[in-house]
Structure 1
Amino acid sequence: MRKAKKLIADIGFGFGVIVLVSPAALVFLWMLSLSLKNELDNTAYPPVFIPDPPILDNFVAVFERNNFLQYAINSIIVSFSATGLAILFGVPAGYGIAKMKATKAAVVILLARITPGLSYLIPLFLLFQWLELTGTLVPIVITHLVITVPIVVWIMMGFFEGLPGELEEAALVDGATIWQAFRHVAMPLARPGITVATILAFIFSWNNFVFAMVLAGRETRTLPVAVNNMLTFEQISWGPLSAAALLVTLPVLVLTLIAQKQIVTGLTQGGVKGG
């Protein structure tokens, strides 16, 4: 009887996973199919699902129509800078909020996390325009901190709240300062959380479209903007558009697949310990 219940539970779990994952998987596979077909096959009815033969012309078109390599370099600079600064400021902030039990500050961080980025766009655009920084990478990095810092702080709060306080108290009794206790005791124990926060901050920064679209210049656009540049007034070229989207998604997809174990472990530990 117990085995039958376990089998039913496993089947139900597997079915639920299929229901949740299949839409995203089908969209990705359809996008891959579009990128490997010519425009005649992409607009054919009934639809042609399997390219015969597959072509790479759409990927070539992406590099011909855009300064794609420059956009990739811009995305790397912006994402690494925004992630690095978020870790630099967000980890100590999460530690301070967790240890001081500053619930009001935590609510502010939560509000910043759930507030749409568009809410910050207009005042930041006016500010950077006044400072004559629009068209450079500086405002893009700064605006991405609006996304990355709350993510890092919120994740790290959960980890630091779950750390045993006796270890830090012992370090303080032995003569360590609060900064030394944070650096040598708390941070090593919270390494899984820092890993998760770094990965998620990088992914959100890499995928951001709105800030770069508005604040960047012709030479400082990021990769998500390159996808938008594949749209023309005459027609939608589904093949090059899908190829560009795949190229933009590929680094994040590879990173997620490589670090999926760390992400799941880190989020689970933070969720359980931090409440």
Structure 2
Amino acid sequence: MKRSPLQKLLLGLAIAVAVSPAILFFLWTISLSLKFEIENAASPPVFIPTQWAWSNYHEAIGSKNFIIYLRNSLIVTGAATLVALVVGVPAAYGITRMRATKAAVIVLIARMTPGLSFLIPLFLLFQWLGLLGTLWPQIIIHLVLTVPIVIWIMIGYFETTPLELEDAALIDGASRWQVFYYVALPIARPGITVAFILSVIFSWNNFVFGVVLAGRETRTLPVAVYNLLSFDQIAWGPLAAAALMVTLPPLLLTVFAQRQIIAGLTAGAVKGG
């Protein structure tokens, strides 16, 4: 259905109103990161800096093991996302083709359950195993976030993929694993892209697990922003610079892969129509 110019205008205004708070906060964070503390504490507030304080980024990077935390975040997020895809995509395919609705409900419950519910028992388990202070507990507990995301997204996608190609491959003598690898997996590539990006975002931005389970040398990048806070005085410039650098990787990933995201999210609706 083609929209009238008035409908397009109203839709644009509605979208602008919905996203304006997020855009405003993001722009204000950029402003804080580029100003010296005198202008950050000025009243009335100064939005455009008179001098560019690039030293805030240098201070954020050079303070309190920022590079180490960045490396830890890359390892934890990369490992948790990779394992989630390796486990979650075949699991979603099996649940879909076997019509295991009870298993799908269990995955949904695991997805809806707050991560803090798993934190205390897993903390005691990792303490008993002597793994606290290493990266392994964070990788394992991040799977609680990433695996249900991958499975739930891919269940919805595999439900809408055509079965004719798979049936033809089975008739030609292919095994179920060959059908999955050579037929279903290439078709499901847009859905896998969406699951990958969402897994990265949820794992990368997680804060609580990094604070509780990690040691001083194994904390992740969001903890670096928290460590810039102090009881004496908050340095808003370096804090905003560190926050932007934490936000930048998933933001760039989303921007560069936006076409794949849109294709993955709309594929089910198109194929189901």
- TM-score (norm: length of structure 1): 0.96
User: 1:114: how far off?
Assistant: 1.4
Q: 2:99: which partner in 1?
A: 101
2:44 maps to which of 36, 40, 46: 46
Letter in 2 for 1:199: I
Counterpart contact for 1:155–1:270, Cα < 8 Å = no
Counterpart contact for 1:35–1:239, Cα < 8 Å = yes
Q: Distance in 2 between matches of 1:163 and 1:78?
A: 32
Counterpart contact for 1:133–1:139, Cα < 8 Å = yes
User: 1:63: how far off?
Assistant: 2.4
Letter in 1 for 2:231: F
Letter in 2 for 1:22: S
In the TM superposition, what whole-angstrom CA distance separates every residue of 1:201-256 from its partner, at most 9, and x where no partner exists? 11111111111111111111110000000000112221111111001111111111
Q: Distance in 1 between matches of 2:101 and 2:118?
A: 24
Q: 2:28: which partner in 1?
A: 30
Q: 2:242: which partner in 1?
A: 244
2:58 maps to which of 57, 60, 68: 60
Letter in 2 for 1:86: A
Letter in 1 for 2:170: L
Counterpart contact for 1:72–1:222, Cα < 8 Å = yes
- Comparing 136-145 with 191-200, greater Cα deviation is found at 191-200
User: 1:273: how far off?
Assistant: 4.7
Q: Distance in 2 between matches of 1:93 and 1:146?
A: 15
Q: 2:82: which partner in 1?
A: 84
User: 1:168: how far off?
Assistant: 1.2
User: 1:271: how far off?
Assistant: 5.0
Q: 1:229: which partner in 2?
A: 227
User: 1:270: how far off?
Assistant: 3.3
Specify the SS of the correspondent of 1:182. Answer: helix
2:199 maps to which of 201, 205, 211: 201
Q: 1:166: which partner in 2?
A: 164
Q: 2:214: which partner in 1?
A: 216
Q: Distance in 2 between matches of 1:268 and 1:71?
A: 36
In the TM superposition, what whole-angstrom CA distance separates every residue of 1:18-41 from its partner, at most 9, and x where no partner exists? 011111110000001111111121
Specify the SS of the correspondent of 1:162. Answer: coil
Q: How does 1:259-274 map to 2 (within 5 A)?
A: 259-271=257-269, 273=271
Q: CA RMSD in A?
A: 1.6
Q: 1:149: which partner in 2?
A: 147
In the TM superposition, what whole-angstrom CA distance separates every residue of 1:141-189 from its partner, at most 9, and x where no partner exists? 0011001001100111111111111211111111111111111111111
Residue identity over aligned pairs, in percent, reads: 62
User: 1:268: how far off?
Assistant: 1.3
User: 1:64: how far off?
Assistant: 2.9
User: 1:272: how far off?
Assistant: 5.2
Specify the SS of the correspondent of 2:157. Answer: helix
Q: Distance in 1 between matches of 2:124 and 2:10?
A: 52
1:190 maps to which of 188, 204, 212: 188
Q: 1:12: which partner in 2?
A: 10
- TM-score (norm: length of structure 2): 0.96
Runs of 4+ residues deviating >4 angstroms:
271-275
Letter in 2 for 1:124: L
Q: Distance in 2 between matches of 1:200 and 1:109?
A: 16
Gaps of 5+ in 1: none
